Structure 1
């Protein structure tokens, strides 16, 4: 899911409407008869050009990143969260250390802040010129309207991601559901093959859930499942994936070095779950680099889990 600390150009699902934004910025630059127009994103690493107008006169391409401590026009906009119009930067010594002025020769800047749907700064939309300018209110209003379109797209993207997240998340535990696990796990397996990583699979079945439901009611059973989900969430590392596949069946996909480490992770999971007075049967399998499917490995871990349960 795209977050404010992630570059939108790194978003791999293709949900950010970059082609639409490109047309918007190209039109803006033509209307202003300006040599350069941009959408710039702000993140902890600095400022990155997301969209750059297509003229040959534009010195910056999309993907260029500038450190956060650089004296930039866009930095001022993000800091103040308001319109910045500099008709002639050569008349203000403040901009002497701005590389856009000193190195690239820009003289004029008009930019507005762009926000995420949460209200956090996304970055800026701006137009720049090598000559001094005298933009009237209509020009400022135009940039404001284009900014609103960008923010509307970000809101739609956020809503889409929320809906997608709900579709892949188990409502009771907050972990991935079966659909979410298969989607994430397939990507994870592909990455592991490219990166020569080893993966392990843990398959867990809660012991006694039927008795809890029969004796104490389904609300108590749901509470037990939530506690198990929370215990798994606290146990998984950033590189692991945990999910509730169905009823009382849970699964974890973990990055490991060897079988011994997989055993240690399984023991750690069981120890954490036991602290909440919950018992599980668990089966583990080291996924080798064969062409076996994810369904095969889940079935193999499930089989080993039932062997341990019966034992």
Structure 2
């Protein structure tokens, strides 16, 4: 079964002008003299109407949906990745037996697949009618042009997302950078207050990274940074916010529902990270030089302040840990 994980979120809809899409399907319905012009998106085994024409005889509305399991015209386009034009569904040996025709109002259908820029299917652009139709080749070319315009919008959306990701992501490690931590962390604080959760913040620093860079080169130093980033990804929870906020400084931001065990969990997490990092670092001859210093602090939903103040508190505890080794 084909699965599409890419849903058009509210944030994405704010980039794409859905009013323009609405005008497009309204024009489709008018030009093709059809009951319905619509753009449909496949969202995790379900087809969802993104926009539908507003003419009086239209039987579809925005956010209407139907299951992948229904043998629909849109499903056929997704499976074949090709357009289709069924002019007389009641006379078609296959479609006359399907639910949209037998139980529904559909008597003709013309549609094209819409693709994300990466090649995955977004959904379909459709002309659906309650009467038999025969569209001219010129009109079918118009539909192809509308399809290209929708694809161009999706490319713009992809480009905006890539720019946003570049702005919020650390190039070396793929983790969030400080800007990404600020963007996600402030929202996490708001969510924790609303859910009455405890926020945990872990501040980590690689010991003696400058010494490694000076004696063994920045390539080895970068390997230490990448190693810690991978350890954090492997040991953190999927919901944790993990960021590299400086050359050798990292943050894990997490949240807890059970206030009684959060300190134990954070200490266990830090111990795991330390052990995994030291083991990995020993494989490229810096194990005796480098290690990890860390500090962590918890904030119940009533004590959460601004993110930078919370980071500063965890930072002070990290330096206390680092100074204790000297």
Q: TM-score w.r.t. structure 1 length?
A: 0.93
What is the CA distance between 1:80 and its match in structure 2? 1.1
Unaligned segments of structure 2, at least 5 residues: 282-289
Question: Which residue in 2 is equivalent to 1:237?
Answer: 237
Secondary structure of 1:276 counterpart: helix
Segments of structure 1 that go 5 or more residues without pairing to the other structure are: none
**Structure 1 residue 306 and structure 2 residue 319: aligned?**
yes
SS of the residue 2:14 aligns to: coil
* Cα distance in structure 1, aligned partners of 2:88 and 2:150: 27
Query: Compared with structure 1, are the counterparts of its residues 103 and 186 closer, same or farther at alpha carbon in structure 2 (3 Å cutoff)?
Result: farther
Q: What SS class does the counterpart of residue 267 from structure 1 fall into?
A: helix
1:167-210 deviations in whole A, cap 9, x for unaligned? 11111111111011111112222223333333211101110101
What does residue 224 of structure 2 align with?
224
Q: What's the counterpart of residue 203 of structure 1?
A: 203
* 2:269 matched residue in structure 1: 265
Q: Distance in 2 between matches of 1:264 and 1:23?
A: 56
Do structure 1's residue 186 and structure 2's residue 186 form an aligned pair? yes
Cα displacement string for residues 147-184 of structure 1 (whole angstroms, at most 9, x for unaligned residues) = 01111111111112112111111111111110111111
- For 2:233 and 2:17, the matched residues in 1 are separated by 33
CA distance in 1, matches of 2:26, 2:98: 24
Distance 1:106 1:292 in 2: 57
Distance 2:190 2:44 in 1: 29
Q: Kindly provide the CA deviation profile for residues 199-252 of structure 1, in whole angstroms up to 9, marking residues without a partner as x.
A: 211101110101101211222212211121122122222101111101111001
Deviation at 1:268, TM superposition (A): 2.2
- Look up the match of 1:149: 149
- Partner-residue secondary structure (3-state), 2:22: helix
Count the aligned residue pairs.
309
Q: 1: CA distance between counterparts of 2:11 and 2:99?
A: 28
Q: Deviations over 1:77-129 (max 9, x none)?
A: 11111121111111124224544323431211110011111111111100111
SS of alignment partner, residue 170 of structure 1: coil
Q: TM-score scaled to structure 2, two decimals?
A: 0.89
